[in-house]
Amino acid sequence: MTMPPNTSESTPSLSQLKVSIGGIQKLSLVDYPGHVAAALFLSGCNMRCGYCHNPELVLPERLAPSIPVEEAMIFLKSRIGRLDGVVISGGEPTVNEDLPVLCRMIKSLGFDVKLDTNGTHPDMVRSMVEEGTIDFIAMDVKGPLEKYVEIAARPIDLAAIKDNVRLMIDSGIGHEFRTTIVREQLEVADFEKIGELVKGAKRFALQHFRTGTTISPKFANYHTFTDEEFRAAQKIMERYVEECVIH
């Protein structure tokens, strides 16, 4: 584990934190590369991707009851020496105003911190990178920029997306980009532009879309790429990034 950053900033009490924790996964061996980790799922999101499997963290009318931050911190303190890291996921964690404070508190316990984000708030991410409160970033790349609004089903600041991508690649810390592939939204040729967007990245993951409980019911009848299409997309991405894997 890396040492927590030194900071002289005043920290609000746990009950005052503007953070909504919708769920806790107590143990994961796959969500943080090289780490035995726990995951905190923060509620709220500024996108409405139809394939999302976490409507209880995204849709206001379906939000899961919030878990007190005090309860989450008590749990993490009980895992000191047993876990290596903590994943902050969502929803979209960066819509929570006090996310940097929460990450700082987790780092103070000695854990490495991985952030999952959609890349829409690069200024917040940059401040945490500079402070040293996050150690790994994973970003969902929805598709080529011209398809972002359609896939995210919300207005998107594309300049922020590009800024967050370059920030991650230039940060020097561990990172991964990933795209969930819905065949009705993406085609193999789109990965040329996605590759150009993330050129120079360490790792890229092509993810199968799987049916189930999704934000949009129509996705129950949608599909993912064939194995052949996945391999074709992988070959394209391997020209742009150090490693491309299929999940």
Domains and CATH numbers, the chain: 17-246 (3.20.20.70)
Average pLDDT, integer, range 167-196: 97
**14 has pLDDT over 90:** no
Mean pLDDT of the chain: 94
**Range of lowest pLDDT (100-104, 111-115, 206-210, 211-215):** 211-215
Tokens 């903590």 belong to which residue?
A: 86
The predicted pLDDT at position 12 comes to 63
pLDDT in tens, 39-48: 999 999 999 9
Which residue, 205, 222, 176, 216, is CA-closest to 54?
216
Residue 10 binned pLDDT confidence (cut-offs 50, 70, 90): low
Give the strands of the sheet with 85-89, arranged side by side: 21-28, 37-42, 85-89, 112-117, 136-140, 174-181, 203-208, 243-246
Three-point CA angle 77, 24, 217, nearest 5°: 170
pLDDT for 6: 46
The pLDDT tens digits of the residues spanning 84-134 come to: 999 999 999 999 999 999 999 999 999 999 999 999 999 999 999 999 999
Q: Residue 190: enclosing H or E segment and its boundaries? A: helix 190-197
> What pLDDT does 1 receive?
53
The fraction of the chain above a pLDDT of 90, given in percent, is: 89
Q: Enumerate the β-bridge partners of residue 80.
A: 83
Q: Identify the pLDDT of residue 137.
A: 98
The residue count of the chain comes to 247
Residue in 186, 183, 192 with CA at minimum distance from that of residue 222: 183
